[in-house]
């Protein structure tokens, strides 16, 4: 039986901002878009702001309507990476294996370490104290037999909580929880579950696995396994990133203009991430899922690029060719693969392509400093 920790830094962006500006402590702080223009979404918000109904991914104009007296800031994105790396260095001093899942989430494998650290619940408390004393960052920790159950556990007693799910008790632990507790269950899937009378995780396990396989395919099988408390038991360490992707699920739509607008946003995000790591992509991939869950993927090779326009034009062309049925669409996605390192070249004369390349790098620097929503393109 494995022992996996999932450590989640509580309101991470907000807490870093409070380290940089102590006057923000105890106040409703929202990191994200600019409410003056009504653009963007909430990237993170303090627990004081959550008391007004705010949450991450909420449209910034909605957040401002609920909490007009809150303190809205773009965020110090370079500092977030700095503090995240500092947390990882602390964890690597104690954990045999550490996997960083995101800027504020870490998995650790402490299997067989009871003889070294004694009570793992007490050791989790030690880790919390260590990170707080050295970095002034609060965190919550979930302990379980696999990554899924540990991740769910870390969210149970926020902030600064520790939840230890005993081996063999995973299914009973999950049964009374809302189905949206399962990682990967979004608004569309939740609506489908509710229409079928499924509200609690225990409602899933009362039905046969074949039912979910027939209704949702491989995704349904994965959901059923998670509802039973199963998940990956092994960490992935220093994996080479072979793709960058973003996708969006929505209530069934048929408007091509709507799909085009969403694809424009998604291609901007993947290109931004690619420029952040200094790569060029040679293959553009798209995903299109109909409302009946039929899923299509298409790909096209391109000259190595990180240009939003080239990626968008290629992806939209693939989407238009793939969308041939008179059936609503529930998901689109774009994925970039086949990377090569970016190398800047000097040219005697600046033509359009070179000027555009410099513009893209300027946009990247602004977004890295002030957030993705600070600037956008009026067209692809």
Instruction: Output the six-digit token pair for 279.
Output: 């790569």
Among 15, 17, 99, 105, the one annotated catalytic: 105
Question: So what's the pLDDT on residue 216?
Answer: 81
Identify the pLDDT of residue 346: 38
Q: Outline where DSSP puts E strands in 81-138.
A: 97-102, 105-109
By C-alpha distance, which of 136, 154, 150, 163 is closest to 14?
136
* Model confidence at 218: pLDDT above 90: no
DSSP readout, 254-282?
A: --HHHHHHHHHHHHHHHHHHHHHHTEEEE
Tell me what pLDDT residue 356 has.
62
Asked if 235 and 99 touch (Cβ cutoff 8 Å), the reply is: yes
Residue 379 pLDDT more than 80? no
pLDDT-above-70 percentage for the chain: 88
Terminal alpha carbon distance of the chain: 51
Confidence of residue 349 (pLDDT cuts 50, 70, 90): very low
Q: Which domains, and CATH codes, for the chain?
A: 1-164 (3.30.70.270), 171-227 (1.10.150.20), 243-374 (3.30.1490.100)
- Calculate the CA 266 to chain-centre distance: 14
Residue 287 has pLDDT above 70, yes or no: yes
pLDDT confidence bin for 348, thresholds 50/70/90:
very low
> Looking at per-residue confidence, does 74 or 315 come out higher?
315
The residue to which tokens 């965020």 are assigned? 75
Residue 184: predicted pLDDT: 81
Band (pLDDT 50/70/90 cuts) for residue 251 is confident
Q: Of the given ranges (26-30, 333-337, 373-377), which has the lowest mean pLDDT?
A: 373-377
pLDDT(99) > 50: yes
Please give the Cα distance from 225 to 174 (Å, whole number).
12
- pLDDT at 276 (0 to 100): 75
Per-residue pLDDT band for 160 (boundaries 50, 70, 90) equals very high
Which residues, listed in sequence order, are joined to residue 296 by a DSSP beta bridge? 288
Task: Give the residue, 7 or 56, on which the prediction is more confident.
Answer: 7
* pLDDT range class, residue 242, cuts 50, 70, 90: confident
Is 39's pLDDT higher than 60? yes
Highest mean pLDDT among 78-82, 130-134, 185-189, 349-353: 130-134
pLDDT score at 272? 85
Q: What number is the average pLDDT over the span 187-201?
A: 91
* pLDDT above 90: residue 36: no
pLDDT level of residue 347 (50, 70, 90 thresholds): very low
Helix (H, G, I), strand (E, B) or coil at 22: helix
Count Cβ atoms below 10 Å from residue 367 Cβ, excluding itself.
20
Question: What is the pLDDT, as a whole number, of residue 106?
Answer: 96
Supply φ then ψ for residue 8, to 5 degrees. Answer: -120, 120
The CA distance from 369 to 105, in Å, is 21
Q: From CA 11, how far away is CA 45, in angstroms rounded? A: 7
DSSP string, 162-220: EEE--TT-HHHHHTTSBGGGSTT--HHHHHHHHHTT--BHHHHHTS-HHHHHHHHTHHH
354 pLDDT exceeds 70? no
Main-chain phi, psi angles of 118, to 5 degrees: 75, -135
Share of the chain above pLDDT 90, in %: 58
Query: 105 an active-site residue?
Result: yes
* Band of pLDDT at residue 212, cut at 50, 70 and 90: confident
pTM over cut 0.85: no
pLDDT, greater one: 90 or 34:
90
Predicted pLDDT of residue 21: 95
Q: Mean pLDDT score of the chain, rounded to an integer?
A: 87
DSSP SS3 for 43: strand
Can you list the positions of beta strands (E) in 10-125? 29-32, 42-45, 71-73, 97-102, 105-109
Question: Does the pLDDT of residue 305 top 60, yes or no?
Answer: yes
Strands 29-32 and 71-73 come out as: parallel
pLDDT average, residue stretch 238-254:
78
Q: What's the rounded mean pLDDT across residues 242-256?
A: 86
Which residues fall within 8 angstroms of residue 22, CB to CB, at 6 or more apart?
none
| Dist CA 108 CA 96 (whole Å) | 8
DSSP reduced 3-state for 136: coil
Classify burial at 180, counting beta carbons within 10 Å of its beta carbon; exposed 0-12, middle 13-18, buried 19 or more: middle
Q: Does 200 have pLDDT greater than 70?
A: yes
| pLDDT band (50, 70, 90) for residue 350 | very low
């Amino acid at each position: 039986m494995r022992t996996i920790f999932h450590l989640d830094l509580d309101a991470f962006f907000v807490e870093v901002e409070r380290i940089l500006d102590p006057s923000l402590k105890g106040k409703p702080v929202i990191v994200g878009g600019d409410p003056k223009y009504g653009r963007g979404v909430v990237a993170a918000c303090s627990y004081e702001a959550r008391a007004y109904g705010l949450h991450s991914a909420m449209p910034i104009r909605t957040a401002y309507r609920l909490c007009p007296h809150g303190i809205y800031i773009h965020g110090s994105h370079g500092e977030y990476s700095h503090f995240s790396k500092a947390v990882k260095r602390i964890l690597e001093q104690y954990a045999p294996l550490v996997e960083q899942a995101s800027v504020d989430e870490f998995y650790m494998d402490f299997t067989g370490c009871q003889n070294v650290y004694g009570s793992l619940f007490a050791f989790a408390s030690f880790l919390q104290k260590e990170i707080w004393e050295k970095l002034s960052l609060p965190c919550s920790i979930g302990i379980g037999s696999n990554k899924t159950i540990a991740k769910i556990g870390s969210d149970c007693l926020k902030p600064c909580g520790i939840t230890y799910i005993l081996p063999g008790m995973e299914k009973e632990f999950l049964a009374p929880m809302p189905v949206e507790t399962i990682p990967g269950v979004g608004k569309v899937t939740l609506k489908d579950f509710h229409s079928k009378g499924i509200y609690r995780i225990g409602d899933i396990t009362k039905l046969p696995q074949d039912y979910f396989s027939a209704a949702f395919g491989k995704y349904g099988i994965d959901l059923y396994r998670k509802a039973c408390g199963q998940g990956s038991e092994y960490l992935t360490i220093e994996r080479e990133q072979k793709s960058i992707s973003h996708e969006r699920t929505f209530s069934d739509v048929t408007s091509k203009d709507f799909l085009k607008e969403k694809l424009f946003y998604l291609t901007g995000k993947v290109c931004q991430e690619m420029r952040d790591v200094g790569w060029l992509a040679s293959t553009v991939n798209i995903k299109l899922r109909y409302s009946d869950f039929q899923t299509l993927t298409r790909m096209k090779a391109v000259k190595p690029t990180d240009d939003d326009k080239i990626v968008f034009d290629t992806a939209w062309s693939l989407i238009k060719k793939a969308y041939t049925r008179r059936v609503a669409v529930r998901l689109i996605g774009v994925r970039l693969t086949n990377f090569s390192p970016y190398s800047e070249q000097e040219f005697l004369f600046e033509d359009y392509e070179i000027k555009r390349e410099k513009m893209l790098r300027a946009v990247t620097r602004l977004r890295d400093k002030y957030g993705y929503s600070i600037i956008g393109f009026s067209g692809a």
